Structure formats: C-alpha cells, structure tokens
Amino acid sequence: MHFPSATHGHLPAALAAFWVATLAGAPFLDAAAQQGGHYEFVPGSRQAKWVPGPAPLAGQQMQRQYQVVGAPVPTQSRVQQAAPSRSGSRRGADYSDSVTVDGQTRTYVIHVPPGYDGKRALPVVMAFHGLGMNATMMYALTGFTGLADRQGFIVIFPNAAGGRWQDGLSNGRDDVSFVQAMLAKLERTVSVDTRRVYACGISNGGYFSQLLALAMPDRIAAAGVVAATLTRGGAAQAGGKSVPIAFFLGTDDPLLPWGDGRNKELGKLGEVLGISSLGSIDGAAAKIGGLCTVPETIAFWTAHNGAGGTPYVSQMPDRAPNDGTRVQKETYGSSSSQVVLYRITGGGHTWPGSIDLKAMRDVSGNTSQDIDATELLWDFFKPLSR
C-alpha cells in the first residue's frame, strides 16, 4: 500500500504551479500584480528584484536573461566556441540537451562556467527538482549557477519524465538509466572530471539522489539531500561502497516524519497538496507509505558508510535572528564515510538560503537564512572524489 502520488513529500501539480509563479517571475502576491509590477530573480543568484510591468510567462525569464538557454550542445567544439573565455570576462553559458532512453526523449539544462576551454576537466553537480517542478525552477531555487561561475564546476538540471523521479515509492521509469545516458553524453560534449560527479535534490529529487547514489556508487562521489528522508525502495538499492552524504532537514517540515512522537499538521501545505484529510504523515502513516523516519534515514546511512558512533555536534551561527530557525550540524564519520545532518529547528519544506518570502513561507514553512544549502553542499562535495 502506498500513498497517492500527492502524498510523497514532493511538490505536485498544484504546488508546482505556485513554485512556477514564484520562481519564474510571476507575481508572488495578487497585490503585487495590482501594483503594476512583479519580482524577478537576479541572474546567477536567488535574490529577487522588483520590476515594473506585467510578469512574463513561467520559464520566459530565464530564457530572456541567459542568452543561450535552449541552444543545443551537439559537439564539444560548439560548447568551447560559445562558452566564456579563459579570462572569465564573459558570463557562463546555459544549454539544453537530450538523450533517448527506452524510446523516450529526456531533457536537461547544462550550465558551463566562465573560462571553460575544454582543456581542464571540471567537476559536475546534478541538481534534481521536486515533484511537479522542472529544471528551470530548480535553476532559480538553488542559485547553483552563480556558485558554479565562482568555483568552476558544471551544473546539470535534469527534467523528470512526468515531473516525478524514480523514488523507490512506486514503480516507474528507469531514471538511473537516464542519468547514466546523460552523463555518458555529457562526457562526449564537455571535459568532465569523472571522479567528481555529485548528486543532490529537494524532496522527490532528494529521494532520487539517495537511490541514485546507492545504485551508482562507483560514479557518484557524494550526495546531498534537502527536505527528504530515505524510502524503503531506495534502501533496497544498497550493497555497494560508501557514499558521503549531507542532509538539510527542517524539524517543522510537515512532510518529513521525524519519529519523535509529534504529529505535525499538514496545514496550508496539506491544502495545496490536497492531502489535508491525512492530518499528519508522522508515525504509522509514514511506514505504510514506504518512508523512513529521519532517525531511520541517518541510521541507515551511518551503517552503510561505516560511520557509526556519536556525532560531532556544533551550532551554526544565528545569522538571521528573525527567520524562525536555528541550525545544528551533526557529523558522523569522516572523509569517504561522512554522514552530515543539518538539523534545522523551525525549518519547513524549503531549500535553506533560498529567497524567503511570506507567500512561500505561508505554504512551505520557514526558509532558514542562517545557512545556504547550495554553498554548504559545494563545500561538502569539493574535496570528495572517487
């Protein structure tokens, strides 16, 4: 027995429409539209600016601001010619590409940083969106492209078929094969450091990032998970070598079962998802649906990586006293065995460090501004390799 697809802790169509509106340039509030303007994201960041006039349709903003979004990448020479010069005086470039898997065309967006010339192999970060989201929305939410430009790595934003990744909760498309085909083509297109390929994702994309790391431990050097626990189907993929992994989990995320005796109400997020009748997915409901609790997830990964024992615990600085969150970092093991949990007290179903607006807070909960998950994920990934 499984929950309906809307209950898997992701962002289904109704909530996805909200994210499209907020992350792709549409008005955040009806009042904003009435004032004759809208918010748009500043290129290369997750910060918004107020722009007079009507909002563009979802997805148009990125296409307008990034001059080569949507351009195919048929050959390595094409990327080298169009990408910025070594001096870094020009901005990074974005491209769309596709592979065919099981007779279906699968698409993704590639961001190549400034200065790429094909002579130095670059690491790759794959960022997997939540249910009902897409590559454009993940692009805006995470701000990975600005960081990639500063740090010199490639980012891929894949699109899930039907808006949902293979998550271990139900049978579906073989997304592991899609990623394998995508990486194989990428390696023929740009110069990739094959020992430094990383996977991360939010919610449904976080479920898949774990499944992928367990299914491809020889390729995935490290993984990152935001707003997701492990699924029992994902755990069934275990059997290979250890994979360092970092989690960013909010204690007030109504879609995360913490197994602490609390029954968190789904609230407005439940209304948007159409699952208010469940009341809560904590406790028995999570087990029936195939979700592991947070403690079970951490216990699985510490056992899998051989990183048992008492964690090293530290408190992160309270850089934003009014954001409603405090963050504690718990580190198990070291180097290739690492399991890290950023326990975000008061945090919701959100990407820490992303833009914090009331329109989003009322639905998804608090977005911690004390930490930046994107920056911390790269700090975690950077020294790790296969």
Note the pLDDT tens digit of each residue in 71-82: 333 333 343 334
- Going by pLDDT thresholds of 50, 70 and 90, the confidence category of residue 105 is very high
The DSSP secondary structure of 150-191, one letter per residue, reads HHT-EEEEE--GGG----SSS----HHHHHHHHHHHHHHHS-
Residue ranges of domains in the chain = 5-381
pTM > 0.75 = yes
* Chain length of the chain: 386
Q: What is the mean pLDDT of residues 343-352?
A: 96
In the predicted structure, residue 131 carries a pLDDT above the cut 70: yes
Angle among Cα 33, 65, 356 to the nearest 5 degrees reads: 50
C-alpha–C-alpha distance, residues 292 and 323, integer Å: 28
Q: Which of 105-119, 158-172, 367-381 is predicted least confidently?
A: 158-172
Answer whether 13's CB lies under 8 Å from 163's CB: yes
Q: How far apart are CA 249 and CA 255, in angstroms?
A: 10
Phi then psi for 370, rounded to 5 degrees? -75, -30
Select 5-381's CATH number: 3.30.70.20, 3.40.50.1820, 2.40.110.10, 3.50.50.60: 3.40.50.1820
**What's the whole-number mean pLDDT along residues 215-233?**
96
Q: Which helix (H) or strand (E) holds 283?
A: none
Query: Cβ atoms within 10 A of the Cβ of 193, count?
Result: 17
